[in-house]
Amino acid sequence: MFFPWIFCFFPCFKNSQRTKFSERIMIQSFFSTQEFFSILFLRFGLAICIFPHGAQKLLGWFEGAGYEASMDYLVNTAEFPTILAILAILSEFFGSVALLFGFCTRLAAFGITCTLAVAGWTHKEIGFFMNWFGNQGGEGFEYHILAVSIGIVLFFSEVVSGL
């Protein structure tokens, strides 16, 4: 993978050539795919874990509340801006589908990572551990740390195509 910042150090390129060339390299590297199967399993694992949450919020599947109730909770109770609530719901659902099929993996991983980082931050008062025995006020944030870590790996790694 090429790093576009390397070309800033070569004086043989004029500024306009350097900018166009580095922009093209950045776009190519963003959408490039490689055959690393370890990343494939991370992509599938994150997609399978996040899809039910997105389907609950968007479609009401898996005993979920559906879009209107999820938006009402995120905007009125959690006090998120409407656009961020919409992006959170869409990134969980469509991001997980995109990860599953290998479509725009970096963009999908970025959306899911941002959503789960905020979700983990909202759970910080509850504590680190999951609510295994039902004696906490909710779930901890250990799951969020794992999912955010996988999302960061997918965002910064060579992407494995779903083909």
Stronger pLDDT, 163 or 146, i.e. the higher one: 146
Q: Is the pTM of this model over 0.85?
A: no
Stronger pLDDT, 59 or 140, i.e. the higher one: 59
Domain regions of the chain by residue span:
36-160
How do residues 22-38 score in pLDDT, each as one tens digit? 788 878 777 776 667 78
pLDDT given at position 78: 92
pLDDT above 50: residue 3:
no
C-alpha count within 13 angstroms, C-beta hemisphere, residue 62: 11
pLDDT given at position 16: 55
Q: How far apart are CA 123 and CA 120, in angstroms?
A: 5
Average pLDDT score, the chain = 84
How do residues 94-129 score in pLDDT, each as one tens digit? 999 999 998 999 999 999 999 999 999 888 888 888
Which residues, 6 or more positions from 79, have their beta carbon under 8 angstroms from its beta carbon? Answer: none
In contact, 157 and 108? CB cutoff 8 Å:
no
Q: In this structure, what are the phi and psi dihedrals at residue 33, rounded to the nearest 5 degrees?
A: -130, 150
pLDDT given at position 1: 44
pLDDT given at position 89: 97
pLDDT given at position 34: 66
For residue 121, which of 80, 72, 153 has the smallest C-alpha distance? Answer: 80
How do residues 48-77 score in pLDDT, each as one tens digit? 999 999 999 999 999 999 999 999 999 999
pLDDT above 50: residue 2:
no
For residue 58, which of 109, 110, 102, 96 has the smallest C-alpha distance? Answer: 96
pLDDT given at position 160: 55
pLDDT given at position 35: 67
Q: Is the dihedral of CA 160, 45, 153, 86 positive or negative?
A: positive
DSSP 3-state assignment of 87? helix
Quickly list DSSP for 61-84: TTT---HHHHHHIIIIIS---HHH
CB neighbour burial string for 51-83, b if at least 16 within 10 angstroms, e if fewer: bbbbbbbbeeeeebeeeeebbeebeeeeebeee
Q: Is the dihedral of CA 26, 27, 28, 31 positive or negative?
A: positive
